[in-house]
Amino acid sequence: MKTIEFKAWLGGMARLSRGQRDLVREDMAGKVEADLGVKLLEDSVTDTPSCPHCQSQKLYRWGKNAELQRYRCRDCMRTFNALTHTPLAHLHYKSKWLKYQKTMIDGLSVRAAAKACGIAKNTSFKWRHRFLSAACTQQPAQMSGIVEADETFFLESKKGQRNIDRKARKRGGKASKRGLSAEQIPVLVVRDRHGETADFILSGVNAEQIKPVLKPLLNQDTLLCTDGAAVYKAVAKQEHIAHRPVNVAARKRVIAGIYHIQNVNAYHSRLKKWMVKFNGVATKYLANYLGWHRMKERFGENTSPADWLLNAINRTGQFQQRCAT
Ligand SMILES: [Zn+2]
């Protein structure tokens, strides 16, 4: 809009009724939020400018495309923007992403999130899993102090899949057999007393599955606490892991006031309770939902859609920096 036109438009604001002003304010708030989302993505590269193809820092601006600044590398001559090589590359409607992150913080279903953002259900589904693809790979590398480990189980679900070889269950449903069976997917959750949490989808509860995921998290300063199941005792013995089994079955839940698995079990129950509203998660997306919940716990209550958006493009360094200031 030309300056003279803008001045005339702004002058007209004085003639608006209170109701009309409210409408303008509401509309502007949406537009400001949309601009903020795009700016956030832009800033995430201008702080650390390097070519995602060859890491060169010799860059220059090369026009704009799909709302984002494009750069060109002087060394490899290739172009890129803030989203190149991130899970969000080539997704549309960037101006709605911050709003979508809010629906993820609130834990809305795919359908409810689509409605809140004015997008199609299929778009909402695609966004959800792209936004979660970074989160599902973010696991702590190491634990410290007392480390609790215990498994929990999720009912296998082929939700959304055609040609299911059994009668469909309604909305999550129940296992046809009681106790553990092939229909139950084991998830090992490992959590230390600082709240660092890792989880792993296993194909069975045995040493071959548990050892390779548990061992790298532990070191000479950690002490593993489990429910004393034979599999943990065996892994601890084989790998010389300091291990304190707690015989939960014999109702000895806490030893010496500190050795227990109550933190990891409380995590299981928060996770299960949170998952209920999704009416059964398809097993092939279980890892994404586990990552979502880990992120929710890591960011805590005082989080913002901006934190989640930066996390979705794996700019966690940025996030730490933002926390420090
Ligand atoms: Zn380059």
- Work out the average pLDDT over 109-122: 95
- Work out the average pLDDT over 74-88: 92
In the prediction, which pLDDT does 122 show?
Answer: 96
Q: Say whether pLDDT at 54 is over 80.
A: yes
**Distance (Å) from CA 95 to ligand 1 centroid:** 28
**Distance (Å) from CA 53 to ligand 1 centroid:** 5
For the chain, give the mean pLDDT: 87
Query: Please, which residues have CB within 8 angstroms of residue 190's CB and are 6 or more apart in sequence?
Result: 143, 147, 148, 149, 197, 198, 199, 200, 213, 214, 217, 264
The percentage of residues in the chain with a pLDDT greater than 90, rounded to a whole number, is 59
**Distance (Å) from CA 310 to ligand 1 centroid:** 23
**Distance (Å) from CA 46 to ligand 1 centroid:** 15
In the prediction, which pLDDT does 31 show?
Answer: 80
In the prediction, which pLDDT does 305 show?
Answer: 93
**Distance (Å) from CA 59 to ligand 1 centroid:** 8
In the prediction, which pLDDT does 159 show?
Answer: 76
**Tell me: the pLDDT tens digits for 282-317?**
899 999 999 999 999 999 988 999 999 999 987 754
In the prediction, which pLDDT does 120 show?
Answer: 97
28-32, 74-78, 249-253, range with the lowest pLDDT = 249-253
**Distance (Å) from CA 69 to ligand 1 centroid:** 16
Bridging pattern class, strands 223-226 and 197-201: unpaired
Confidence of residue 12 (pLDDT cuts 50, 70, 90): confident
In the prediction, which pLDDT does 183 show?
Answer: 84
| Residue ranges per structural domain of the chain | 141-160+180-281
Q: Say whether pLDDT at 141 is over 80.
A: yes
In the prediction, which pLDDT does 27 show?
Answer: 85
In the prediction, which pLDDT does 323 show?
Answer: 35
In the prediction, which pLDDT does 269 show?
Answer: 97
In the prediction, which pLDDT does 181 show?
Answer: 62
Between helices 97-105 and 110-117, what is the axis angle to 10°? Answer: 140
Annotation: CATH topology of 141-160+180-281 = Nucleotidyltransferase; domain 5 (3.30.420)
Q: Say whether pLDDT at 202 is over 90.
A: yes
The percentage of residues in the chain with a pLDDT greater than 70, rounded to a whole number, is 88
30-39, 146-155, 163-172, range with the lowest pLDDT = 163-172
**Distance (Å) from CA 41 to ligand 1 centroid:** 20
Q: Say whether pLDDT at 325 is over 50.
A: no
Long-range contacts of 264-272 (CB under 8 A, 24+ apart): 264/148, 264/149, 264/150, 264/189, 264/190, 264/191, 265/150, 267/189, 267/191, 267/197, 267/297, 268/150, 268/152, 268/189, 270/297, 271/152, 271/189, 272/152
- Work out the average pLDDT over 242-253: 82
In the prediction, which pLDDT does 65 show?
Answer: 82
